[in-house]
Structure 1
Amino acid sequence: MIAEWSAPRWAPPSPDRAVIDIGSNTVRLVVYSGAQRAPDVWLNEKVAARLGRDLADTGRISDKAADMALVALRRFGALLSGLGVRQVEVVATAAARDATNGGEFLDKVRALGLEPRLLTGEEEARASACGVISAFPGAHGVVADLGGGSLELVSIEGEQAHQGVSLPLGTLRLGALRKRGAGPFKDTVHQALAQEGWAAAHPGPLYMVGGTWRAFARFAMQLLGHPLHDPHGLEMGVEEADRIARDLVRADPAKLKEDADLPTMRAVSLPDAAALLRVMLAELQPTALVFSSWGLREGLLHQKLPPLARRQDPLLVGVSHFTAPRGGSISRAATIAGWTADVARGEGAYSERLRLAAIMLALAAARLEPNIRSRHARDWALEKRWIGLDMGGRARLAAALVGACDKPALPPELLALADEPLLREALGWGLAVRLCRRLGGGSRLSLAGSALRVRDGKLVLWFDPSQADLVADTVRADLATLAKWLGMSPEIVVGEKVAALPI
């Protein structure tokens, strides 16, 4: 299983692939580096050309919007040339698909030396779904990707995208629909969703993809005093989401921009999106909302992955790629995970993958100066955008790093994200890693000549006589701290065979 988790041997990162997304609201370039299964963003640049802003009135991409997009695309081409990135996928979505002059616009894009692929509505929906599948292994439910020109819905289950549809309910169209009145707006959305009965029949949460949904999530996090800032992985109850949406429907965009610190484009579209969301919740009846920062672009990358790479654990691949150059290789972490296994009380693969990720991060954090170690470790766990990890998992990682780097006490912000027993267990992982490092710097020789065992209510640290010189007051102190946290008494044994310790 470790082989499936492992990232490639570390080498200095360089950008090697990119996606250009010609959307109805924005034209965006994202350049990636790093592991295939958990890519890092090297460069992310967008221009709000709003290609779809006049579709409802004229059916065309305006000359002004097209010119703005082409200027941006010309720059993107120059950036890619300078970076030496040759694996580039260029896709166009609803605006180019629906506009009467969409083909003419794409010809101008080709004249720049780019090769745009016009996605069908179903292809766009499936790509977005693959982004969610990549970010949330085992996800099941319905993906709702809200763009400027369209709303994509697609059911996912068993690591596969199933039924999908693209509806003309993008943020650039919603304003005109709402001007007809609340009743006609609700009827229009209801009729569009009712025709896709599979979406309501498919159980599970709604996976919310798109910048406007993320703006909704950030607004909700501020309103509720959520301790984190990144909405990726946020799970929200349906009643709470509907209550927030009900208030947002009547919100003033200018006040939203000022009070919630939202970009103008998102502040303008948020009340319309909230009105759409209320009908979606009533019609589709999901079990919850889960917000994803991964969508179409990451889905396009996922679709190209070989089968072996798709089966890798994205959390462990991403963490190992991050920590390997910082002294936290997955092989070293696996050795420490084995040495500390007796005090790991968690059950199942989920706890073990979290524990392995926590050990890698703890090893990397140990290389930081003491005055910045705790702060950076906290941000790595809670704010860095790990894939394949929910908010509760982030809190458990943070608790483990508190144990490894700081005083053994749970920060209140973590208690808002996960149950206390799980956090206490994770903090114990960190204390065990601290003891392991204190013992012999985490060296293989010190680990081979020692063992940590739970025996008859005692936490026993055993040493082979060849390693007896490692016993010190600092080791005794860390053993006592871990034992106290676990509700045991500490004991050090030198010389007996580890198998002979009383059970």
Structure 2
Amino acid sequence: MPHGPDPAAPRPPREGGRRAHYSPHHAQQHQGAPRNSYAALDLGTNNCRLLIARPSDDGFVVVDAFSRIVRLGEGLAATGRLSEAAMDRAVSALSVCSDKLRRRRVSLVRSVATEACRRADNGREFVQRVYRETGIALEIISPEQEARLAVLGCHALLEPGEGNALVFDIGGGSTELILIDADHSPPRVIDWFSAPWGVVSLSETEPHVGSDREGLLGSYARMRARVAEGFAQFAARLTPGSQPGRLLGTSGTVTTLASVHLDLPSYDRRQIDGLIVPVTAMREISSRLAGMSVSERAELPCIGQERADLVVAGCAILDAILDIWPAERLGVADRGIREGILRSLMARDRAKVMM
């Protein structure tokens, strides 16, 4: 059975595109019976992701994983419903997950669905269909639960420092902004906000169109303005202080832009998870991508056809976040809800054993 390093273990920050030098951390198990396997499944507006892991003395080791872009929320903004084609794509991906759960003999799993199922008129009907056809019992979680799980899954990558920090998760249908007091372990959530803009919903309601670079940048400015309006209520509550605030992002947008920043020939999680990128570099990449056509963006190896039409919406959301939370550097996390679920499941089981 394959093993790997704990994806939620803290790693030395990496700056300016330099790869960190660190020794892989191998899980050590106590002697005795094999430890149970746990699974976390996150069905979002754009992606279906599964992570299966076993506990280790200092976290967990991943034994299997799966990720597929399913675009469950495609067309949702216009119709208020999940389309048949989108549901078929999601069920197909979930069937793969179901097979993996059986083969790995997972003892405890939590499967969650987020904004697309929350918003769709037929979201609960879809959940019932998933259970009938795959045996997976999806739980439609609230935006607050989503925000807290994201923090639990990625906070280990927050840069050391003082003062509050902002963690954000740009999804397909919504964006979660979480203000935390990082002096606690785990961090204490001070305030949070779920904005109704994600890469899919924003792309559909405020399309990025234009016949030339000037037109494309004008369209991008309108996208940013629309997001800023949605963030205004939360922005008024933020007080980052006199020093630039710490900032950590977990989403396909930040990992994609970080890959472009490093000019990677293909996505490499080992180089991205825990990377620290200057905010000025991320803004420059966002502006460059916003001035490109879809076909031009698709030629970039870390974007490709699957993300070419959605990445600009993510850039607009990221720019709006940088406007309301001034920071010099952005921490990049290729982890989030699934890792948060795994940690909570394992902690719950440990607590039962100690009772």
The TM-score bracket by the shorter chain reads: 0.7 to 0.9
Q: CA deviation at 1:92?
A: 0.5
Matched, 1:259 2:281: no
Unmatched runs of 5 consecutive residues or more in structure 2: 1-26, 209-218
Q: Which moved more, 1:177-186 or 1:258-267?
A: 177-186
Matched, 1:121 2:143: yes
Cα 1:230–1:40 shift into 2, 3 Å: same
Matched, 1:268 2:309: yes
Counterpart CA distance in 2 for 1:308 and 1:82 is 22
Structure-1 residue corresponding to 2:74: 53
Structure-1 residue corresponding to 2:275: 234
Of 200, 204, 207 in structure 2, the residue corresponding to residue 172 of structure 1 is 200
Letter in 2 for 1:275: A
Which aligned pairs between 1:172-321 and structure 2 lie closer than 5 A?
A: 172-179=200-207, 181-197=219-235, 200-202=238-240, 204-222=245-263, 230-306=271-347
Of 186, 190, 196 in structure 2, the residue corresponding to residue 162 of structure 1 is 190
* 8 A contact 1:135–1:294 mirrored in 2: no
Structure-2 residue corresponding to 1:41: 62
* 8 A contact 2:280–2:328 mirrored in 1: no
Letter in 1 for 2:341: L
TM-score, normalised by the number of residues in structure 1: 0.55
Letter in 2 for 1:52: G
Letter in 1 for 2:79: T
Cα 1:99–1:228 shift into 2, 3 Å: closer
Matched, 1:96 2:117: yes
CA RMSD of aligned residues (A): 3.0
Task: Classify the secondary structure of the residue corresponding to 2:299.
Answer: helix
* 8 A contact 2:49–2:65 mirrored in 1: yes
1:430-458 deviation line (CA, Å, top 9, x unaligned):
xxxxxxxxxxxxxxxxxxxxxxxxxxxxx
Q: CA deviation at 1:214?
A: 0.4
Letter in 2 for 1:262: I
Which aligned pairs between 1:129-140 and structure 2 lie closer than 5 A?
A: 129-136=151-158, 140=164
Counterpart CA distance in 2 for 1:305 and 1:161 is 21
Q: CA deviation at 1:307?
A: 9.2
Counterpart CA distance in 2 for 1:27 and 1:228 is 17
Task: Classify the secondary structure of the residue corresponding to 2:310.
Answer: helix
Counterpart CA distance in 1 for 2:149 and 2:158 is 14
Cα 1:141–1:309 shift into 2, 3 Å: farther
What fraction of aligned residue pairs are identical, expressed as a percent? 27
Structure-2 residue corresponding to 1:145: 169
Q: CA deviation at 1:14?
A: 7.2
* 8 A contact 1:36–1:305 mirrored in 2: no
Structure possessing the higher relative contact order (Cα contacts under 8 Å, 6 or more residues apart) = 2
Counterpart CA distance in 2 for 1:100 and 1:10 is 50
Letter in 2 for 1:71: S
Task: Classify the secondary structure of the residue corresponding to 2:128.
Answer: helix
Q: Which moved more, 1:300-309 or 1:136-145?
A: 300-309
Counterpart CA distance in 1 for 2:36 and 2:68 is 21
Q: CA deviation at 1:296?
A: 0.7
Matched, 1:66 2:96: no
Q: Which moved more, 1:287-296 or 1:240-249?
A: 240-249
Counterpart CA distance in 2 for 1:130 and 1:26 is 20
Counterpart CA distance in 2 for 1:201 and 1:93 is 29
Rg larger for: 1
1:298-351 deviation line (CA, Å, top 9, x unaligned):
1112234439989xxxxxxxxxxxxxxxxxxxxxxxxxxxxxxxxxxxxxxxxx
**Higher normalized helix content (fraction of residues):** 1
Q: CA deviation at 1:110?
A: 2.4
* 8 A contact 1:246–1:275 mirrored in 2: no
Letter in 1 for 2:197: L
Letter in 2 for 1:126: R
* 8 A contact 2:253–2:311 mirrored in 1: yes
Task: Classify the secondary structure of the residue corresponding to 1:132.
Answer: helix
**Higher normalized strand content (fraction of residues):** 2
* 8 A contact 2:36–2:106 mirrored in 1: yes
1:123-161 deviation line (CA, Å, top 9, x unaligned):
111110111224448685111101111111111222223
Letter in 1 for 2:203: G
Letter in 1 for 2:170: L
* 8 A contact 1:37–1:309 mirrored in 2: no
Which aligned pairs between 1:355-366 and structure 2 lie closer than 5 A?
A: none
Letter in 2 for 1:191: E
Letter in 2 for 1:281: L
Q: CA deviation at 1:198?
A: 6.3
* 8 A contact 2:289–2:297 mirrored in 1: no
Task: Classify the secondary structure of the residue corresponding to 1:259.
Answer: coil
* 8 A contact 1:24–1:148 mirrored in 2: yes
Q: CA deviation at 1:182?
A: 4.3
Cα 1:110–1:184 shift into 2, 3 Å: same
Unmatched runs of 5 consecutive residues or more in structure 1: 1-5, 311-503
TM-score, normalised by the number of residues in structure 2: 0.76
Of 14, 28, 47 in structure 1, the residue corresponding to residue 49 of structure 2 is 28
Q: CA deviation at 1:9?
A: 2.8
Counterpart CA distance in 2 for 1:135 and 1:144 is 13
* 8 A contact 1:205–1:289 mirrored in 2: yes
Counterpart CA distance in 2 for 1:241 and 1:308 is 40
Cα 1:77–1:289 shift into 2, 3 Å: same
* 8 A contact 1:33–1:39 mirrored in 2: yes
Q: CA deviation at 1:187?
A: 2.7
* 8 A contact 2:171–2:199 mirrored in 1: yes
